[in-house]
Amino acid sequence: MSRKPPGYWDDWKNVEEALHPVIARLGRFPKRNEVTALPNGYALNCIIQDAGGYVAVAEGMGLDANHFHRPNGYWKKWENVKRTLLRLIEKHGRLPSRRELNALGESTLVQAITLYHGGTIAACRRLKVSLPRQPSGYWKAWEHVEKTLSELTEKLGHFPTFADLNTSEHRGLTSAVARYHGGMKSVRRKMVGGPPTNQVLHCYADSVADAYLQTPGSGSFDEYVAQLEHECPYERDLRARLGLPPEPSMEQPT
């Protein structure tokens, strides 16, 4: 094996030329042991490490790096997120949606964008690219609406309002809820469970009366009932306040 002249490996084209045969053979970017097994492999390994490591070099060449174990804290660095997103944009012609990123095996990247980099909107602004769009008709399917609102509820700590949706990466969901799913009140009722409390309160008269008697300083009974309706807008909320199971029995009148 002839030695390369000084400065040979400073030309990145020579590095890529040395890696291309093994990439073609493996169908992916090689791991460290596969690089060091190549002619001049130890020199190549040092160059890859100096260039940011195997993940960085693979993604810099426009190749998938999901088979590499990323070190702890990898996605906390914006440069790593930026490099990966730019590669995906170049490959797909646009920034993939969260759903598409998950399908591409980038679920940890999706989580990191939310946890460390302000969410999809903030990331798009930093990259100066358009927000990803869901496929046509995506929000017509209830399961997509339910899944997204459940995720937002967990993230926000409360069921999302229209204002929350308008400041999230799911702005298209706002109009879809009104157009296809009966509006936010109807959707919340469907997800939270049960009809509005003021429609079923008479079914729980005895339980409400018992709760009132056990709640000193609650004012008049009418005031207590008004407070219940305000703080427990849906039947499931009311049942939780009264210490009842989440779902009414089949014999429970509605």
Q: What percent of the chain has pLDDT over 70?
A: 88
Residue 168: predicted pLDDT: 60
Residue 239 near residue 185, CB atoms below 8 Å: no
Calpha distance 54→70 (Å, rounded): 9
Could you tell me if residue 186 is inside a domain? yes
Domain count, the chain: 4
Q: pLDDT per residue over 21-31, tens digit each?
A: 888 887 788 88
Residue 94 near residue 132, CB atoms below 8 Å: yes
Calpha distance 94→102 (Å, rounded): 16
Calpha distance 34→29 (Å, rounded): 9
Q: pLDDT per residue over 32-54, tens digit each?
A: 888 888 887 888 888 888 777 78
Token duo for residue 49: 């490490």
Could you tell me if residue 132 is inside a domain? no
65 vs 95 pLDDT, higher one:
95
Residue 161: predicted pLDDT: 80
Residue 246: predicted pLDDT: 65
pLDDT mean across residues, the chain: 81
Residue 32: predicted pLDDT: 85
**Per-residue pLDDT at 195 exceeds 60:** yes
User: Which domain, by its residues, includes 155?
Assistant: 138-192
Q: What is the pTM of this model?
A: 0.40
**Per-residue pLDDT at 203 exceeds 50:** yes
Could you tell me if residue 246 is inside a domain? no
Could you tell me if residue 94 is inside a domain? yes
**Residue 201 and residue 188 in one domain:** no
Residue 253: predicted pLDDT: 42
Could you tell me if residue 165 is inside a domain? yes
77 vs 169 pLDDT, higher one:
77
Q: Which amino acid is at 53?
A: G
Q: pLDDT per residue over 237-252, tens digit each?
A: 888 889 988 665 534 4
The mean per-residue pLDDT over the stretch 141-163 comes to: 83
Residue 40: predicted pLDDT: 79
Residue 60: predicted pLDDT: 74
Could you tell me if residue 48 is inside a domain? yes
Residue 148 near residue 138, CB atoms below 8 Å: no
Could you tell me if residue 252 is inside a domain? no
112 vs 160 pLDDT, higher one:
112
Could you tell me if residue 26 is inside a domain? yes
Residue 251: predicted pLDDT: 40
pLDDT band at 1 (very low <50, low <70, confident <90, very high): very low
The SS3 assignment for 125 reads helix
**Residue 188 and residue 203 in one domain:** no
Residue 197 CB burial class (10 angstroms; 0-12, 13-18, ≥19): buried
The mean per-residue pLDDT over the stretch 163-174 comes to: 74
